[in-house]
Chain A
Amino acid sequence: MSSEFFGNWFLPGIWITVQVTFLSAALAFVIAFPIGVLRTSRLWIVRFLAGAYFEIFRSTSSLVFMFWIAFTVPPLFNISFQPMFAGVLALGITYGAYASEIVRGALAAVPPAQREAGIALNFTPTQRLRRIELPQAWPEMIPPFNNLLIELLKGTSLVSLIAVADMTFAGDLLRLVKNESAPIYTLLLALYFVFAFILTRGMRLLERHAKKRVGQTPEKTSLLGGLRAKSSIDVVSGTGGAK
């Protein structure tokens, strides 16, 4: 692989992958909390609408949705935007739906007596959420969020198909230019794996920190254990795979 190509395409591609990952994760996060909280609402119409958002995006292919935003929305509504905007929007909205399910599940797992204690202390619903329910639900959310983040990182490779010059795109370009594929795709796979590994380790630290604060004992981790779904229950109930 020529160094010129590496500097011109590959390094910027890696940077774009990092950017897309963090921007869409941030968007997903911002969407997930309100939607997740609304899904525990007492009003059925609120619950229904928030639930519909989850069901719709759980039932569509993120790639098709991304194509739809990138190629259908602009001509349909006579607007135009950068491909990267379309990619981040599609990933953020899709993964926001999955993340909202994690938030909902973790909130539901807080013992009901904790909510009642909040009522007894005359807390407002907002205070209950902020001071009682979310702090307890938070450590439960981190392991599934971790899985979701890995899925999202892998999902960012899709933006290459709407012409965002991420590292997959750079790899594809190199194949066309150099007519060589084995080293480039091997390198790509290795890069994604290393990124996934770094993300997982980072989230593990966060998890330990969160559990210490709430007074739960952090679990021991092994080297490869970090990449594995936290518990088998997550996988069987279908939330572990995140989708």
Chain B
Amino acid sequence: MNWNWDHVDEFMPLFWDGLELTLKALLFGSLIAFSLGLVWAVAQRSAKKWIRWPVTVVTEFIRNTPLLVQLFFLFYVVPEWGPSMSPLTTGIVGLGLHYSTYTSEVYRAGIEGVPAGQWEAATALSLSKRRTWTSVILPQAVRRVIPALGNYVIVMLKESPQMAAIGALDMLGQAQNYSQTTFTFEAISVVGVAFIVIAYPASLLLRVLERRLVR
């Protein structure tokens, strides 16, 4: 054992910078995942085949390929055709897009959980399609799925270090940089512990939330 606490002290300022970037990516990534996921879920229930099919194919493709390769794709291929994005932006878009396909399944389950009588009631009241979705179905569906969505925020937190591979200085990116320039190894342990310290209480909190919202 040749652990040196001085390296930990030296790394801490960089760690806080990394944490800030991780949390930023998590916040904006989840916003994209939550809103885009809902779009996928509603589109997949569309009566029109030409909407349903492409959405199914695209979401299945994204869900069944690795986030890491998608990040590489967004970072190296997309700029050839259009805008080039910073590593952080690429990370946010990648995380959001990837996990939107997961949250869409969550929404789908939530929507299917709304009793069929609610759809019939909306038809009986001759509500428009838009009113049916916004005033009857979605308010009931979204409440049930909040804990499951929260679960995916934790998943996204754990997958966010993959951003480091395209040069985003998140917690892992900072640790990697520090370790490589100083030839030390303590920084990665600090980051590993940080994940447990953040993710475990968060999942306990979610359990409480789940008990409150889903009876």
User: Which residues of chain B are within 8 angstroms of A78 by Cβ–Cβ distance?
Assistant: 2
User: Which residues of chain A are within 8 angstroms of B144 by Cβ–Cβ distance?
Assistant: 236
- Name the residue on B nearest A67 (C-beta): B188
Report how many residues on chain A are interfacial, defined by Cβ distance under 8 Å.
Answer: 53
User: Which residues of chain B are within 8 angstroms of A232 by Cβ–Cβ distance?
Assistant: 105, 108-109, 112-113
User: Which residues of chain B are within 8 angstroms of A236 by Cβ–Cβ distance?
Assistant: 106, 109-110, 113, 144-145, 148
Contact at A60–B158, with CB atoms within 8 Å? yes
Contact at A243–B188, with CB atoms within 8 Å? no
Assembly CA distance A182 to B166 (angstroms): 16
Residues of B within 8 A of A (CB): 1-3, 56-57, 60-61, 63-70, 72-73, 76-77, 80, 102, 105-106, 108-110, 112-113, 144-145, 147-148, 151-152, 154-155, 157-162, 164-165, 171-172, 175-176, 179, 185-186, 188-189, 191-192, 195-196, 199-200, 203
Contact among A158, A237, A243 for B155, CB-based, below 8 A: A243
Tell me if A65 is interfacial: C-beta within 8 Å of chain B.
Answer: yes
Contact at B60–A157, with CB atoms within 8 Å? no
Contact among A56, A68, A158 for B188, CB-based, below 8 A: A68
Could you show 6 A-B contacts with beta carbons less than 8 Å apart?
Answer: A61-B160, A68-B188, A72-B186, A154-B65, A160-B68, A240-B105
Contact at B155–A76, with CB atoms within 8 Å? no
Contact at B188–A182, with CB atoms within 8 Å? no
Tell me if A63 is interfacial: C-beta within 8 Å of chain B.
Answer: yes
Contact among B69, B155, B175 for A241, CB-based, below 8 A: B155
CB contact under 8 A between A192 and B63, given known A64-B188, A181-B77, A236-B109: no
User: Which residues of chain B are within 8 angstroms of A150 by Cβ–Cβ distance?
Assistant: 64
- Name the residue on A nearest B197 (C-beta): A59
Contact at B64–A64, with CB atoms within 8 Å? no
Tell me if A44 is interfacial: C-beta within 8 Å of chain B.
Answer: no
CB contact under 8 A between A72 and B188, given known A185-B69, A189-B73: yes
Contact among B57, B80, B151 for A238, CB-based, below 8 A: B151
